[in-house]
Amino acid sequence: MEKPSHILRENVPLAPLTTMGLGGPARYLAECTSLDEMRTCLTWAAAEGLSVQVLGGGSNVLFADAGYSGVVLKVGLSGVVFNGETVEVAAGEDWDGFVQCCVERGLAGVECLSGIPGSVGATPIQNVGAYGQEVKDTIVEVRALDRQTLEEIAFAPAECGFAYRQSRFKGADRDRFIVTSVTYRLDVSGQPQIRYPELRRHVDDECPTLAAVRDAVLGLRRGKSMVIDPQDPNSRSVGSFFLNPVIDEEAFAALKDRYPNVPSFPDSAGVKVPAAWLVEQAGFHKGLQRGGAGISERHALALVNRGGTTREVLALAGEIRDAVEQTFGIRLEREPVLVEGHY
């Protein structure tokens, strides 16, 4: 098969394609703006024996310093189709641009997810969530290309395996599907639902508009450097580096005996403990620096690139993980996807 030169570039630096700004070059980068281009790219890569890594907005991914020896397939599908209360959005659309559009049209259901970087197609991957909302609450269909058969398949929400920052696309079926579009069902009444106490405190009105909720969320997020801002060095991150661990009632009771002030949230699988609290109690404070890696000055869970390398960030993450485990007996799980170099 002939090399599809019209979609491929060679030896492309990956760091500028990520919010962390880390990672070496991709041997090939394929920017695919149609399903046909994706199929061509996958077929050619298979024939060449090259691995393929899917990339959206690069806000939840860490590439190795050596780079990637296969093909990085950047999803560039575009298009948004509103149809009453449902809207089908192509995977390559910018997530926050879509949220803004919903707010402007008076459609409720995603306003608390304002300011989250990345693409629409990545939102089902880890069931993106913030301030009491998760995309699983509004998703009615996920369409995806099966990388083996090259067929496009439609998944109902019950088939997606959604859980806290998890889905089948990140779990059992990791790297099997490329999400091509997501359909959301929104609330045409335009009534925002505020479930999160911190957000409630920041919204003045008893019955706020969607725009007021969006502004409050963006304000809260900016205060924590959780909105990408090229002027803000604390936002050179992947957001939260660790998931909030969920432990069983017995383990939580033992933890509470030792640390009566431990914060917690109820969870269907047990008790959720804020990872940021564990990290700080284990001795890692905001603003800490280790070489070219550090912890954000504004959020203990955000590891930031301070001119360093992926290796340095992973070393700091490992140090934090070990200290939390030694102190509390709880092993933190990494949230971003680590893409090994294959070199």
Ligand X SMILES: Cc1cc2nc3c(=O)[nH]c(=O)nc-3n(C[C@H](O)[C@H](O)[C@H](O)COP(=O)(O)OP(=O)(O)OC[C@H]3O[C@@H](n4cnc5c(N)ncnc54)[C@H](O)[C@@H]3O)c2cc1C
For ligand X, the closer of residues 127 and 328 by Cβ is 127
CB of 120 to ligand X, least distance (A): 8
CB of 35 to ligand X, least distance (A): 12
β-pair partners for 144 = 153, 179
For ligand X, the closer of residues 43 and 189 by Cβ is 43
β-pair partners for 72 = 29, 53
CB of 144 to ligand X, least distance (A): 7
Specify the long-range contacts of residues 196-205, CB closer than 8 Å, at least 24 apart: 196/112, 196/131, 196/132, 198/131, 199/112, 199/131, 199/132
Are the CB atoms for 108 and 126 separated by under 8 Å?
A: no
Name the phi and psi angles at 308, rounded to 5: -105, -145
For ligand X, the closer of residues 40 and 255 by Cβ is 40
**What is d(CA 13, CA 22) in angstroms, rounded to the nearest whole number?**
9
For ligand X, the closer of residues 93 and 312 by Cβ is 93
Amino acid at 316: L
Catalytic residues: 165, 240, 335
Strand pairing category for 337-339 and 61-63: parallel
For ligand X, the closer of residues 44 and 296 by Cβ is 296
Residue with tokens 């907005």: 57
CB of 127 to ligand X, least distance (A): 7
CB of 138 to ligand X, least distance (A): 14
Cα distances (Å, whole numbers) of residue 162 to 49, 99, 136, 155, 237:
32, 20, 7, 12, 24
Residues that bind ligand X (CB under 6 A): 19, 54-61, 75, 91, 116-119, 121-123, 125-126, 128-130, 178-179, 226, 228, 235, 237-239, 337
